[in-house]
């Protein structure tokens, strides 16, 4: 996070709150504060000796800093709380947010200075509860004794606090969420679901990030159209163009990259609620409603490429014989040039073998991010993700599974299983009866095909693409699938909106139910509803048999 950006956002269009300008009213805490996950909180304090502001001595409406435990007066007195945040913001060397969270000793509400809002998040609940116990004299004798035993540990030298105990068992949300769709944001804000998540600030993908996957010519064309608001959609896409089409697409790409990287770094699962789909976009052009391939961009940012032994080819080869370098198939002039380059920079000529472990360390140090080798994509959208399949069709690191409409324009058949190194790492399940299948049929496919592959492939990350477009499937069906996948050991899970998002505004209940499953508030794992496998659609049974027959060549779970 950037200090200057935080300061600019804080002071731009800011109306200073005073007793005169603050009109009061109902306070609705913000559940999407992106700073709460980065703040280093203390969990427990013994008691507060002196309830005065440490700067001016005021005892009226003081606030306790949740990072260092110092007391400061509010904006209605001398505003020393905000001054404390601004000072720590300038000296914060980690996330550039400073001591931004503070709690009122009057009503135990929590304020975030960068957000300029009261906030709510379950990570703060244990601390709020403990401060409440101190305020009302409810701190148990056992807690006092435990704190006395650790009297010499974790002391904070402050006139405000006698004792601070830091513990590692603080309650943290396990889900990271990013919301680009304002309608979905408004709907979720009316529930308490977002308080069980960490949120991140949305941003646009950089050009450097985009060209790591897409061709530079294509990216330059789209960025130019975005900048100049040119309508090129008729030639390349099947979308209703407006002035925000391409800027929204870049936002969706940036959001997807950030959520996937955050999940690997410090979370268990993630939920990506974007407005611009991407799974049909190819490397060098968009497709249908897809501009950038969001999922592939996110994957490429964390995928560690396997090192492969150098193979002998018929191309020009350097030969070192008694310090003389010749190039097979080259002219004398070309040989002379190579020899001169060798004399000037010999280290750059010889292709010394590099150990794969060393290259991994170098890559990690340069990018400063976690990377993995095995990723499973499960495409539950109604249309086939032809872009994702094309990009990873020859890869054995990304396994792509698609359950889609057999009659869709971008359909792919069951015998299309990959190519070269990727042979067996693509599974297509085309259904002619997709508009007729129900929860039981869909769960049967998951149990017979998806879960066996998941267990044998052992992915480090599972990405599930959804658009909730299949009318017959209930929200509970999606939640059951998500819960099953979240139980795969040693794997993290990301759910992303993709595919046909035209009806997402009417499927907000699906979003709420899936999010409830992700954060652990809803469990359907033991539901008997889908245990009856006798009444399965005939087309589903036939396609499952065909897929098993094709993939048993590559995977023992289908033999």
* Stronger pLDDT, 342 or 252, i.e. the higher one: 252
- The pLDDT tens digits for 270-288 are 999 999 999 999 999 888 7
Q: Which two tokens stand for residue 259?
A: 């959520």
**DSSP line for 494-543:** EEEE-S--TTGGG-HHHHHHHHHHHTTS---TT-GGG---SS--HHHHHH
The span from the CA of 455 to the CA of 557, in Å, is 9
pLDDT number for residue 153: 37
At the fourth CATH level, which superfamily is domain 34-136? Zinc/RING finger domain, C3HC4 (zinc finger) (3.30.40.10)
Rounded to a whole number of angstroms, the distance between the first and last alpha carbons of the chain is: 51
Once rounded to an integer, what is the mean pLDDT over residues 454-480? 94
Cα→Cα distances 79→74, 414, 456, Å: 5, 66, 59
Cβ atoms of 450 and 464 within 8 Å: the answer is: no
Tokens 């799974």 -> residue: 279
Q: 291-295, 302-306, 385-389: which has the minimum mean pLDDT?
A: 302-306
pLDDT number for residue 49: 62
Dihedrals φ, ψ of 441, to 5°? Answer: -60, -45
pLDDT tier for residue 336 given thresholds of 50, 70 and 90? low
- The pLDDT tens digits for 208-228 are 999 999 999 999 999 998 888
pLDDT number for residue 360: 34
**Short-list 400, 433, 443, CA closest to 299:** 400
pLDDT beyond 80 at 251: yes
Q: Which two tokens stand for residue 143?
A: 């807690």
**DSSP line for 304-326:** -PPP-PPPP-SS--EEEETTEEE
Cα→Cα distances 527→279, 443, 480, Å: 32, 12, 9
pLDDT number for residue 95: 77
Contacts 24+ apart (CB under 8 A), 365-368: none
The span from the CA of 503 to the CA of 485, in Å, is 25
pLDDT tier for residue 4 given thresholds of 50, 70 and 90? low
The span from the CA of 405 to the CA of 384, in Å, is 7
Q: 68-82, 336-350, 512-526: which has the minimum mean pLDDT?
A: 336-350
Which residues touch 503 (CB under 8 Å, ≥6 apart)?
Answer: 468, 469
pLDDT beyond 50 at 347: no
- The pLDDT tens digits for 155-169 are 333 333 333 333 333
**Short-list 228, 337, 246, 225, CA closest to 289:** 246
Average pLDDT, the chain: 80
Cβ atoms of 487 and 523 within 8 Å: the answer is: no
**Short-list 437, 427, 431, CA closest to 398:** 427
**Short-list 76, 77, 74, 75, CA closest to 64:** 74
The span from the CA of 24 to the CA of 10, in Å, is 21
Cα→Cα distances 313→305, 309, 320, 339, 473, Å: 21, 12, 17, 22, 52
Count of C-beta atoms within a 10 Å radius of residue 115: 18
pLDDT number for residue 328: 53
The span from the CA of 254 to the CA of 251, in Å, is 5
Contacts 24+ apart (CB under 8 A), 502-505: 502/469, 503/468, 503/469, 504/181, 504/184, 504/467, 504/468, 505/183
Which letter, b or e, does each residue of 252-264 get, where b requires 16 or more Cβ atoms within 10 Å of its Cβ? bbbbbbbbbbbbb
- CATH number listed for the domain at residues 173-305+331-346+370-558: 3.40.800.20
Q: Which two tokens stand for residue 232?
A: 């090129």
* Stronger pLDDT, 245 or 426, i.e. the higher one: 426
- The pLDDT tens digits for 423-448 are 999 999 999 888 888 999 999 999 99
Count of C-beta atoms within a 10 Å radius of residue 33: 25
* Stronger pLDDT, 170 or 237, i.e. the higher one: 237
Once rounded to an integer, what is the mean pLDDT over residues 187-194? 90
pLDDT number for residue 39: 86
Express as a percent the part of the chain with pLDDT over 90: 45
The three-state secondary structure class of 402 is strand
- The pLDDT tens digits for 498-545 are 988 888 888 999 999 999 999 988 888 777 776 767 789 999 999 999
* Stronger pLDDT, 67 or 166, i.e. the higher one: 67
The span from the CA of 225 to the CA of 397, in Å, is 34
pLDDT number for residue 310: 55
Widest CA span of the chain, in angstroms?
91
Which residues touch 71 (CB under 8 Å, ≥6 apart)?
Answer: 48, 50, 51, 52, 53, 54, 62, 63, 64, 65, 105, 160
pLDDT number for residue 147: 44
**Dihedral sign of CA atoms 354, 356, 361, 364 in order:** positive
pLDDT beyond 70 at 253: yes
Domain range annotation of the chain: 34-136, 173-305+331-346+370-558
Cβ atoms of 53 and 139 within 8 Å: the answer is: no
pLDDT number for residue 556: 92
pLDDT beyond 70 at 401: yes
């Amino acid at each position: 996070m950037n200090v200057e950006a935080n300061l600019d956002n804080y002071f731009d269009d800011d109306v200073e709150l005073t007793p005169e300008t603050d009109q009061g009213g109902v306070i609705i805490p913000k559940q999407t504060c992106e700073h709460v996950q980065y703040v280093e909180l203390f969990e427990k304090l013994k008691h507060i000796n002196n309830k005065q502001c440490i700067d001016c001595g005021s005892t009226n409406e003081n606030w306790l800093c949740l990072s260092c435990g110092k007391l400061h007066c509010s904006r209605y007195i001398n505003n020393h709380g905000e001054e404390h945040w601004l000072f720590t913001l300038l000296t914060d060397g980690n996330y550039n947010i400073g001591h931004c969270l503070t709690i009122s000793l009057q009503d135990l509400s929590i304020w975030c200075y960068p957000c300029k809002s009261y906030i709510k998040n379950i990570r703060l609940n244990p601390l709020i509860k403990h401060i409440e116990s101190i305020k009302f004299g409810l701190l148990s004798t056992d807690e006092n004794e435990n704190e006395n035993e650790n009297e010499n540990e974790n002391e904070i030298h402050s006139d405000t606090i006698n004792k601070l105990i830091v513990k590692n068992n603080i309650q943290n949300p396990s889900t990271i969420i990013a919301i680009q769709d304002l309608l979905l944001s408004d709907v979720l804000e009316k529930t308490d679901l977002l308080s069980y998540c960490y949120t991140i600030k949305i941003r646009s993908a950089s050009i450097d990030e985009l060209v790591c996957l897409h061709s530079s010519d294509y990216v330059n064309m789209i960025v130019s159209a975005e900048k100049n608001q040119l309508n090129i959609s008729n030639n390349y896409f099947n979308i209703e163009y407006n002035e925000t089409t391409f800027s929204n697409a870049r936002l969706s790409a940036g959001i997807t990259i950030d959520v996937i990287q955050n999940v690997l770094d410090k979370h268990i699962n993630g939920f990506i609620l974007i407005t611009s789909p991407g799974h049909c976009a190819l490397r060098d052009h968009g497709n249908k409603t897809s501009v950038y391939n969001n999922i592939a961009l996110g994957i490429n940012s964390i995928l560690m490429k396997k090192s492969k032994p150098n193979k002998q080819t018929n191309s020009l080869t350097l030969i070192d014989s008694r310090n003389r370098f010749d190039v097979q198939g080259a002219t004398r002039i070309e040989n002379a040039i190579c020899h001169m380059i060798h004399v000037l920079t010999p280290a750059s000529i010889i292709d010394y073998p590099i150990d794969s472990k060393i290259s991994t360390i170098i890559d990690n140090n340069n990018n400063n991010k976690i990377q993995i080798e095995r990723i499973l994509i499960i495409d539950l959208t109604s249309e086939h993700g032809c872009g994702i399949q094309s990009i990873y069709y020859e890869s054995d690191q990304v396994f792509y599974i698609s359950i889609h409409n057999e009659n869709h324009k971008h359909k792919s058949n069951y015998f299309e299983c990959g190519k070269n190194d990727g042979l067996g790492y693509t599974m297509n399940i085309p259904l002619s009866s997709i508009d007729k299948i129900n929860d039981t049929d869909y769960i049967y496919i998951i149990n017979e095909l998806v879960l066996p592959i998941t267990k044998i492939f052992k992915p480090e990350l599972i990405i599930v693409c959804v658009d909730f477009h299949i009318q017959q499937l209930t929200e509970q069906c999606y939640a059951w699938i998500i819960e099953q996948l979240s139980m795969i050991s040693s794997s993290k899970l990301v759910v992303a909106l993709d595919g046909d998002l035209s009806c997402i505004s009417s499927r907000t209940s699906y979003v709420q139910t899936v999010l409830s499953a992700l954060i652990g508030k809803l469990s359907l794992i033991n539901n008997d509803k889908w245990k009856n496998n006798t009444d399965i659609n005939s087309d589903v049974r036939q396609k499952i048999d065909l897929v098993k027959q094709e993939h048993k060549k590559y995977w023992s779970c289908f033999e």
